[in-house]
Chain A
């Protein structure tokens, strides 16, 4: 059983650029959620994908978008990067249903300069 893996682990981008973060979900899981964790804060829900469709979204602007692929892996795309987008981005995979455990990857540390 493989865990949740995210790539890259660290990334530095310039304000205004675009970035794509990747997540491979745990074997057998069909749902991927993305979270943004600013320094010293708790993770904030960005959105969730289930069977390749967006299944809920938090309070993030449309320049945050995502994809889920047939193998349930996922991408998070952020356009027009702003300095405040600097954060740890966490991916969590789970099996859709009540009270199922979400497993988190180690995250991608994005720095916008």
Chain B
């Protein structure tokens, strides 16, 4: 079946540190891959996406590359800010508009 596994949190970093949140997936066919972010008290927002192998999604300094050979979609940012503190969800859609989410990784950035 289809599933997403992401690193457990919480992840605590100092401002300007480098961020990596690991995500691997299991899927039949060729899913689209996403990172969503949930800020405190808010709904989910799409952060970035990639629709085929070797695509790189990027937004707000965050990047993730669709790696079919390792079935991974790790989220990276070179220099995090306090305002990046949130819960990050890796997700996939197996081409039928239904989104399968990982459990989420809570990120704390210390000033």
Q: CB-nearest residue of chain A relative to B45?
A: A104
Among the listed A33, A42, A98, which residue makes an inter-chain contact with B95, where contact means beta carbons less than 8 Å apart?
Answer: A98
Q: B101: shortest Cβ distance to chain A, in Å?
A: 4
A 69-113 to B, binary, CB cutoff 8 A, 1 in contact else 0: 000000000000000000000101010111111111111000000
Smallest distance from the beta carbon of A92 to chain B beta carbons, Å? Answer: 7
Do A31 and B104 touch (CB < 8 A)?
no
Q: Are A43 and B99 in contact, with the CB atoms below 8 A?
A: yes
Whether a CB of chain A sits under 8 angstroms from the CB of B58 is: no
Given A99-B51, A105-B43, do A42 and B98 touch, yes or no (CB 8 Å)?
no
A66: min CB distance to chain B, Å: 14
Q: What band does the interface of chain B fall in when counting residues whose beta carbon is under 8 Å from A?
A: 20 to 34
Contacts of A42 in B (CB 8 A): 4, 89, 91, 101-104
The chain B residue with its CB closest to the CB of A46 is B98
12 contacts between A and B (CB under 8 A): A33-B98, A35-B101, A41-B103, A45-B99, A56-B97, A56-B98, A58-B98, A94-B97, A96-B97, A101-B46, A102-B97, A106-B42
Chain A contacts to B: CB under 8 angstroms: 4, 31, 33, 35, 40-45, 48, 56, 58, 90, 92, 94, 96-107
